[in-house]
């Protein structure tokens, strides 16, 4: 009896050449580093050097997070990935009423340039690649990073890294949006233009399916809705007057890696193939770098369990293997205790060691695309591609990603799939080790890392000092210039940078934009 994949596609007990009838190896498979990039975006992939090993970290104040970053670099991390707390993600200062109880809890609190300066103290920004998981206020955090680099004497053209900056998926799956979709897309286009001119090596967006997967999206839904968002961003930038080849080479993506190894490998291969064709055939991109789908992967936090948490080490290893076999450009491995609390130093180190074992103790990096030609993986790649393209056509029929979001389409589809998964888990049809099978009578005690509740008071105090010492008249003038730009057609990043340089806070800058653009109110219309 055939099983079904996570996307509801059949997985046959045996695959044979006949299952690939009509398959065109030359057109669909090709060579690594060549269109349509099914086998990977670079000819040599990991045979020359391994993927970038990022570890997502950030908690408490900038002081605590800076110490964790230094530890990760000392242990061999080759790229930093910054987690911000919810107030920062939502554009609120730590002393705002809505921030109470959330300061420093799920990431680091950044209120101003002073916090950013502390966060990267002693870390040479011309020698590290930094990814920042920030969306609605992405422009602010990027500019703060640039300002700190300037203080270090590092020119902007030497900065490398990524801002997530994918607000469309916030309306679909995550909820940390601030402004309505149209001004949010305008802000995205302004970031593209700014970075093309000022920070040319920076990846201006990481179009994310990860959070959709965490909300319950299947692999086919994950890549379909993510690529549909990517199409919307490209259309927005082109409509704003940019040539597609001026910004498309700096687009990047962010996907999950689940424990369902074969379908995950197939998913990554299918996503590369779809994107290459969209960029070349639909948008007429001429630069091969514009056709490449480069992506970061994070192992699946939603599949980690609080029960028998050490078993998560096995899950993460399998997930990481799928990401590597699928051809990721960078990887974050979750810590085994993240279903309980923030990871400890030891668990974060073990997560990094998982990647290092794959890179240096296995033969997986010795050859490019080891599963190429596998009957099972090639058939699954075709099947996932077909399912994803069908969903993308349904999004287009609604008018594109933004219009489909307004209809609630993607959110409803993901919620239906999440409900199916929950039902299968509750019934025992879907086995989760330690949860609905192979349980322990009594769980072993575990002492998680806890964030000091006094952090919020310290951040409030820092903000009070900052506001008393700065030139308030200059801040007010800079914020007025920002609002004028937001109400017109000027690129808002230039006045925004000057406001932040003058020690305007994240919350003050976002509030200025709220006054002009308003705030998003979600619709459940679909």
**Whole-model pTM?**
0.92
309: Cβ contacts below 8 Å, ≥ 6 apart: 336, 337, 339, 340, 446
For 162, the 3-state DSSP assignment is strand
More confident residue, 385 or 525: 385
Residues above pLDDT 70, as percent of the chain: 98
Residue-wise pLDDT for 16-33, tens only, equals 888 887 766 666 788 999
The mean of the pLDDT values for the chain is 94
Within 10 Å of residue 287's Cβ, how many Cβ atoms? 15
- HSE (CB half, 13 Å, CA atoms) of 64? 25
- HSE (CB half, 13 Å, CA atoms) of 40? 23
Residue 525 pLDDT > 60, yes or no? Answer: no
Residue 526 pLDDT > 50, yes or no? Answer: no
The closest of 166, 142, 233 to 496, measured between CA atoms, is 142
Least confident of 55-64, 92-101, 362-371, 424-433: 55-64
Residue-wise pLDDT for 71-94, tens only, equals 888 888 878 889 999 999 999 999
Phi-psi region of 480 (alpha: psi -120 to 50; beta: other; left: phi over 0): alpha
Residue 58 pLDDT > 60, yes or no? Answer: yes
- pLDDT value, residue 25: 65
Residue-wise pLDDT for 231-257, tens only, equals 999 999 999 999 999 999 999 999 999
Within 10 Å of residue 384's Cβ, how many Cβ atoms? 31
Q: Are strands 3-4 and 10-11 parallel, antiparallel or unpaired?
A: antiparallel
Residue-wise pLDDT for 318-358, tens only, equals 999 999 999 999 999 999 999 998 888 899 999 999 999 99
**What whole-number distance in Å separates Cα of residue 334 and Cα of residue 350?**
9
252: Cβ contacts below 8 Å, ≥ 6 apart: 162, 203, 205, 206, 207, 294, 295, 296, 329
**What whole-number distance in Å separates Cα of residue 359 and Cα of residue 232?**
35
**What whole-number distance in Å separates Cα of residue 64 and Cα of residue 482?**
32
Residue 162 pLDDT > 80, yes or no? Answer: yes
CB 407 within 8 A of CB 525: yes
Residue 450 pLDDT > 90, yes or no? Answer: no
**What whole-number distance in Å separates Cα of residue 221 and Cα of residue 211?**
12
Residue-wise pLDDT for 474-509, tens only, equals 999 999 999 999 999 999 999 999 999 999 999 999
Across the range 2-8, mean pLDDT stands at 88
Sign of CA dihedral 509, 513, 518, 519: negative
More confident residue, 242 or 452: 242
Residue-wise pLDDT for 178-219, tens only, equals 999 999 999 999 999 999 999 999 999 999 999 999 999 999
């Amino acid at each position: 009896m055939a099983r079904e994949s996570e996307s509801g596609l059949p997985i046959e007990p045996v695959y044979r050449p006949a299952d690939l009838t009509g398959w065109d190896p030359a057109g669909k498979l090709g060579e690594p580093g060549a269109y349509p990039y099914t086998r990977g975006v670079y000819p040599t992939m990991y045979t020359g050097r391994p993927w970038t090993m990022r570890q997502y970290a950030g908690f408490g104040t900038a002081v605590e997070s800076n110490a964790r970053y230094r530890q990760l670099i000392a242990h061999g991390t080759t790229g930093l990935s910054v987690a911000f707390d919810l107030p920062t993600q939502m554009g609120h200062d730590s002393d705002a009423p809505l921030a109470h109880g959330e300061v420093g809890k799920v990431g680091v609190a950044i209120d101003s340039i002073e916090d950013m300066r502390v966060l990267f103290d002693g870390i040479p920004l011309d020698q590290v690649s930094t990814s920042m998981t920030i969306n609605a206020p992405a422009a602010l955090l990027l500019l703060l990073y640039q300002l700190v680099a300037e203080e270090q004497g590092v020119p902007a053209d030497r900065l490398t890294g990524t801002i997530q900056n994918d607000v469309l998926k916030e309306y679909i799956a995550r909820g940390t949006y601030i402004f309505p979709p149209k001004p949010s897309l305008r802000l995205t286009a302004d970031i593209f233009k700014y970075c093309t001119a000022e920070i040319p090596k920076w990846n201006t967006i990481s179009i994310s399916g990860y959070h959709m997967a965490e909300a319950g999206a299947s692999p086919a839904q994950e890549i379909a809705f993510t690529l549909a968002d990517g199409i919307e961003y490209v259309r927005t930038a082109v409509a704003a007057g940019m040539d597609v080849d001026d910004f498309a080479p700096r687009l990047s993506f962010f996907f999950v890696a689940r424990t369902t190894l074969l379908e995950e490998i197939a998913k990554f291969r299918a996503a590369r193939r779809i994107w290459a064709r969209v960029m070349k055939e639909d948008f007429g991109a001429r630069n091969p770098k514009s056709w490449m789908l480069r992506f970061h992967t994070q192992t699946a936090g939603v599949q980690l369990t609080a029960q028998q948490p050490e078993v998560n080490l096995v899950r993460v290893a399998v997930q990481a293997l799928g990401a590597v076999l699928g051809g990721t450009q960078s990887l974050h491995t979750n810590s085994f205790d993240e279903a309980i609390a923030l990871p400890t130093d030891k668990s974060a180190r073990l997560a990094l060691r998982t990647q290092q074992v794959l890179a240096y103790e296995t033969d997986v990096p010795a050859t490019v695309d080891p599963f190429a030609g596998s009957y099972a993986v090639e058939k699954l790649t075709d099947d996932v591609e077909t399912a994803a393209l069908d969903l993308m056509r349904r999004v287009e029929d609604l008018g594109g990603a933004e219009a489909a979001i307004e209809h609630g389409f993607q959110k409803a589809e993901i919620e239906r799939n999440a409900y199916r998964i929950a039902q299968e888990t509750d019934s025992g049809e879907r086995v989760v080790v330690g949860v609905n099978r192979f349980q322990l009578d009594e769980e072993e005690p575990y002492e998680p890392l806890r964030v000091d509740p006094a952090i919020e008071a310290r951040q409030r105090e820092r903000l009070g000092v900052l506001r008393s010492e700065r030139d308030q008249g200059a801040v007010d003038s800079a914020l007025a210039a920002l609002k004028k730009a937001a109400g017109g057609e000027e690129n808002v990043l230039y006045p925004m940078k000057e406001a932040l340089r003058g020690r305007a806070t994240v919350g003050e800058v976002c509030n200025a934009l709220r006054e002009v653009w308003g705030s998003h109110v979600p619709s459940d219309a679909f």
